[in-house]
């Protein structure tokens, strides 16, 4: 698996492409969006959201409300 750009964790190609298509390339960018907003993106599923949530928590961040 290739390393995603920025500091995004490895969440799979479709999810990474979906985030990048929306201009979301870092965990700080992810934290500006709600779980619901990200889940609505084609390619971002429950596993990707769980991995993102764990990565955010490790940095002291959370999804937006």
17 to 9, 58, 60, 65: CA distances (angstroms): 13, 23, 24, 23
Contact status, residue 19 vs residue 30, Cβ threshold 8 Å: yes
State the average pLDDT over residues 7-18: 96
State the average pLDDT over residues 42-58: 98
State the average pLDDT over residues 23-51: 97
How high does pLDDT run on average in the chain? 94
State the average pLDDT over residues 27-36: 98
pTM beyond 0.75, yes or no: yes
The pLDDT > 90 percentage for the chain reads 91
In this prediction, residue 23 has a pLDDT band, given cuts at 50, 70 and 90, of: very high
Distance CA 46, CA 6 (A): 21
């Amino acid at each position: 698996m290739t390393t995603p750009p920025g500091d995004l964790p490895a969440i799979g190609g479709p999810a990474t492409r979906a985030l990048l298509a929306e201009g979301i390339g870092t965990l700080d960018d992810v934290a500006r969006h709600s779980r619901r907003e990200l889940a609505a993106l084609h390619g971002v599923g429950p596993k990707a959201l769980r991995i993102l949530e764990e990565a955010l928590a490790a940095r002291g961040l959370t999804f937006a409300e």
